[in-house]
Amino acid sequence: MPNILHGKNVVLGVTGSIAAYKAADLTSRLVQAGARVNVILTASAAKLVTPMTFAGLTHRQVVTDLFEPTSEMSMDHVALAQKADIVIVAPCTANTVAKIAGGRADDALTATLLATKAAVLVAPAGDANMFNNPAVQANLQTLRDRGVTVVGPASGRLASGLVGQGRLVDPALIVGFARQLLGRSGDYAGRRVIVTAGGTQEAIDPVRVITNRSSGKMGYALAEAARDRGADVTLVTAPTALDDPAGIETIQVGSADEMRDAVLPLCENADLLVMPAAISDFRPANTADQKLKKSAQNGLTLELVQNEDWLPDAAGPRLVKVAFAAETEDLEANALKKLGVKGAKLIVANDVSGGAVFGSDKNAVTIFSRDSEPERLPEMDKFDVAERILDRSLPYLSS
């Protein structure tokens, strides 16, 4: 299943910020996600980046002048506004923020923003002093009060040489927030979903851990897929190399116990708990306070104790649970056994013998339930596996 941006009409407004060059990366990401992207440059933006860059990326004419319509706009100055599914302004200058707040329409971008009924996402960028100015802050608040999604600015080193707030947020985050906005009335709207991810880490001493080869990709894909269908998602994740996804409350944990302590209180108020995290079955019986030294005996024997399985304790008045089983042998028998023990409606089993699934963007799973035949899915992107798990979970959720 394609992601939610596929086939959507995105209007991307680019304004006269030094961060305008990053809009090329954003454009490319949107195009690669399958969106039809129409770019509007303000006159100031066109002095910093060329229309040709965006035309090359989108294969569409770029609008730079309200009075020189392109084929996309024909002679109708609100044509793009009407067909847009979302209007993104990134980067958005303090000047354009003020113009949107004031209802101005003196160029193609502001006219489009005034005329559109689509969701609007604004990602401001600029000098820290400029953005901290009360006038700019008040204008941004006006935008938020009117339902505009304002993303950033982020903190860091600025082109002015200052270090502070004013950086355009990462284009990947803008794409994530756009997906969330487009999906807000999806079939998971109003649902609270908890997803766990990553491989937990059990401390041996202050610097060493026992962990596993889980990359977290399956959990992150699930969290993003649920967000894109309108869910309010909390991701509880053990360490991974992945960035926090946009629009998802992300709680970082280390050990299996920490994950339990983060997840169980959330269950009271959740509709769905999906558990792809690879939670360590064992932990060292004792964690050393100081780093263990090389010993004269040339070796070290670790005593391990079993972690409790806390999934059976996860409960809430509406909670539906989906467990995962990673097996290297007897996949079906082991998965079915776990289905009973964990109190889950579904169990997603994958054969991890050979280790190929770890870190991969693809996965081949079988979904077991008590009330239907096992569903064996062919190898597919983890995002598509996530979509299928959400499809299968939805009928169990309380109405």
Active site (catalytic) residues:
212
The reply on whether position 16 binds ligand FMN by CB under 6 A is yes
- For ligand FMN, the binding residues in 244-303 under the rule CB under 6 A are none
Using the contact rule CB under 6 A, the part of the chain among 92-100, 303-311, 328-336, 381-389 near ligand FMN is 92-100
Antiparallel, parallel or unpaired: β 192-197 and 272-275: parallel
The reply on whether position 44 binds ligand FMN by CB under 6 A is yes
Q: What tokens were used for 174?
A: 């803008």
Judged by CB under 6 A, the residue of 45, 151, 259, 389 near ligand FMN is: 45
The reply on whether position 95 binds ligand FMN by CB under 6 A is yes
Q: Which amino acid is at 90?
A: A
The reply on whether position 15 binds ligand FMN by CB under 6 A is yes
Helix (H) or strand (E) holding 218: helix 217-228
Count the site residues for ligand FMN by CB under 6 A: 15
Choice between 47 and 146, CB closer to ligand FMN: 47
Report the 10 Å Cβ neighbour count for 283. 22
Q: Do residues 202 and 282 make contact, with C-beta atoms less than 8 angstroms apart?
A: yes
Judged by CB under 6 A, the residue of 29, 105, 126, 204 near ligand FMN is: 126
Per-residue x/- track, 49-88, ligand FMN (CB under 6 A): ----------------------------------------
The reply on whether position 93 binds ligand FMN by CB under 6 A is yes
Using the contact rule CB under 6 A, the part of the chain among 29-37, 122-130, 172-180, 311-319 near ligand FMN is 122-130
Judged by CB under 6 A, the residue of 49, 87, 119, 125 near ligand FMN is: 125
CA 369 to chain centroid: 28
The reply on whether position 307 binds ligand FMN by CB under 6 A is no
**How far, in Å, CA of 157 to CA of 22, rounded?**
15
**How far, in Å, CA of 103 to CA of 115, rounded?**
10
The reply on whether position 96 binds ligand FMN by CB under 6 A is yes
The reply on whether position 112 binds ligand FMN by CB under 6 A is no
**Which contacts (CB < 8 Å, 24+ apart) does range 159-165 have?**
159/18, 159/19, 159/127, 160/127, 160/128, 162/127, 162/128, 162/129, 163/128, 164/128, 164/129, 164/132, 165/128, 165/131, 165/132
CB of 248 to ligand FMN, least distance (A): 28
Choice between 94 and 246, CB closer to ligand FMN: 94
Q: What tokens were used for 336?
A: 């079915």
Q: What tokens were used for 343?
A: 């109190």
Q: What tokens were used for 265?
A: 């209180």
- By the criterion CB under 6 A, which residues form the site for ligand FMN? 15-19, 42, 44-45, 93-96, 125-126, 130
